[in-house]
């Protein structure tokens, strides 16, 4: 019979590279950077690691034309014939790399394992993501939809459903971006480190109406890593280890946007993944019980809708319960994306999910880089990571906390 994963597995070391346009670093450099930090943090040597889950969407395919298999990590780190499993769920890849590592430990297949997320995207020669590979998957279907184009449809639908004028709606979204940038500015490893004003956000060049430049996350290079063991072994490595409380993982059937009953104002896979994670972690009132949330805010509207879909506020009440009350700031009632989020910390596809957990892990250990970003007394946090687009998401929700 299936058992709960709660408190069975612990994170004993984590690493995260500086995120950004890393012109002088390739995937191998960043893997090494993140893994070295994680090994040092855990106080272990690479040869102690028995298996690795490598999360990447493209590996080195965008630049060097080849590798996305586990040999990217084995070749970089010169691991000696241990298993390296490459996992990929688009932007939700990171959560899946941690999940694979966690369940392998729970199954007692290994004692000490690692999850590594990496993406090198800035070798392409143009801004944005290569999702404009028109016709790669469906020769003609998909309407040339890009990330911003598809998420923007949700913003228009949300404004219409809740009676926000374009100006009101844009302002609610702009407030989110102002918050993200304020924390990115305070985070040395973040990609975008400049504060912005509401006016700057509102007047920025349009990317996909109604989303402007500052409504969209950076296109980022980076890597992150986590070292995990079973909870009963964690004390061997450190005192302030952090436990996995729950994994919620949900793949939507994927035709949401083609269903007449989907209105684009909620993320269905996120709802399901959060519900499963809350049940496993024993969370009844997420807004009250979660001390912080790192959620998948590739766009400002993504933070708004994910917040509602995970019940961090009531559905349709984001403006009243998050914006007006400033609940989502680090000293608010429901801190969200105090790292700067995907929006400002950056979003290297395969690394983001693990990076979100890194932020919560550090916050629980009271090791936020600057006091201005330290959330008070974090015992329980949630990382939300999703890939795909509105109506077709695969979502991973990871809850971690003090043992």
Centroid of chain to Cα 234: 25
Which residue, 100 or 148, has its beta carbon nearer to another protein? 148
134-to-142, 143, 144 alpha-carbon distances in Å: 9, 9, 6
Told to judge if 217 belongs to the known catalytic residues of this protein, a careful annotator would answer: no
* Residue 213: other Cβ atoms inside 10 A: 15
Options 3, 45, 133, 285; binder of another protein; rule CB under 8 A: 133
Which of the following is catalytic: 91, 229, 298, 354?
91
207-to-54, 81, 146, 218, 299 alpha-carbon distances in Å: 32, 46, 11, 13, 11
Told to judge if 91 belongs to the known catalytic residues of this protein, a careful annotator would answer: yes
Told to check if 388 binds another protein by CB under 8 A, we report: no
Residues forming beta bridges with residue 396, ordered by sequence position: 249, 385
Which residue, 13 or 391, has its beta carbon nearer to another protein? 391
- Quickly list H helices, 282-324: 286-289, 300-309, 318
Site for another protein in 208-227 (CB under 8 A): 208-211
Which of the following is catalytic: 181, 296, 330, 347?
347
Residues 6+ apart with CB under 8 A from 42: 12, 13, 227, 237, 238
Told to check if 139 binds another protein by CB under 8 A, we report: yes
Draw the binding track, 159-188, toward another protein (x: CB under 8 A; -: no contact). Answer: -x----------------------------
Task: State the DSSP string of 130-158.
Answer: GGG-TTSSSSSTTTT--HHHHHHHHHHHH
Residues forming beta bridges with residue 380, ordered by sequence position: 401
Which residue, 209 or 370, has its beta carbon nearer to another protein? 209
Instruction: Give min distance, CB of 168 to another protein, in A.
Output: 15
Which residue, 142 or 332, has its beta carbon nearer to another protein? 142
Told to check if 138 binds another protein by CB under 8 A, we report: yes
Binding site for another protein (CB under 8 A): 124-128, 130, 132-136, 138-146, 148-157, 160, 205-211, 253, 255, 257-260, 262-264, 391
């Amino acid at each position: 019979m299936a058992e709960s994963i709660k408190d069975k597995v612990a994170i004993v070391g984590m690493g995260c590279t500086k995120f950004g346009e890393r012109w002088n670093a390739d995937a191998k450099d960043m893997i090494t950077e993140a893994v070295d930090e994680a090994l040092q943090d855990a106080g272990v040597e690479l040869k102690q690691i028995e298996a690795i889950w490598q999360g990447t969407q493209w590996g080195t395919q965008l630049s060097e034309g080849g590798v996305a298999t586990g040999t990217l990590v084995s070749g970089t780190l010169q691991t000696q014939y241990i298993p390296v499993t490459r996992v990929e769920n688009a932007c939700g890849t990171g959560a899946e790399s941690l999940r694979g590592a966690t369940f392998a430990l729970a199954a007692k297949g290994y004692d000490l394992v690692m999850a590594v997320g990496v993406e090198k995207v800035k070798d392409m020669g143009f801004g944005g993501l290569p999702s404009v590979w028109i016709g790669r998957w469906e020769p003609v279907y998909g309407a040339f939809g890009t990330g911003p184009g598809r998420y923007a449809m949700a913003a228009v639908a949300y404004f219409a459903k809740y009676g926000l004028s374009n100006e009101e709606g844009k302002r609610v979204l702009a407030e989110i971006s102002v918050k993200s940038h304020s924390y990115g500015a305070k985070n040395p490893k973040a990609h975008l480190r400049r504060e912005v004003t509401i006016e700057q956000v509102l007047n920025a060049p349009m990317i996909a109406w109604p989303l402007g430049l500052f409504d969209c996350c950076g296109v980022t290079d980076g890597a992150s890593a986590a070292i995990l063991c079973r909870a009963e072994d964690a004390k061997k490595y450190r005192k302030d280890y952090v436990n996995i409380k729950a994994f919620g993982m949900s793949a939507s059937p994927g035709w949401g946007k083609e269903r007449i009953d989907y209105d684009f104002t909620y993320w269905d896979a996120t709802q399901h993944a959060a519900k499963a994670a809350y049940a496993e972690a024993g969370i009844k009132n997420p807004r009250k019980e979660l001390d912080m949330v790192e959620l998948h805010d590739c766009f400002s509207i993504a933070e708004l809708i994910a917040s509602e879909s995970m019940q961090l506020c009531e559905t349709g009440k984001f403006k009243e319960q998050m914006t007006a009350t400033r609940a989502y700031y680090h000293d608010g009632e429901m801190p969200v994306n105090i790292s700067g989020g995907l929006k400002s910390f950056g979003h290297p596809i395969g690394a983001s999910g693990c990076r979100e957990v890194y932020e919560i892990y550090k916050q629980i250990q009271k090791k936020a880089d600057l006091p201005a970003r330290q959330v008070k007394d974090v015992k329980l946090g949630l990382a939300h990571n999703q890939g795909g687009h509105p109506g077709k998401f695969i979502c991973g929700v990871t809850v971690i906390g003090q043992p």
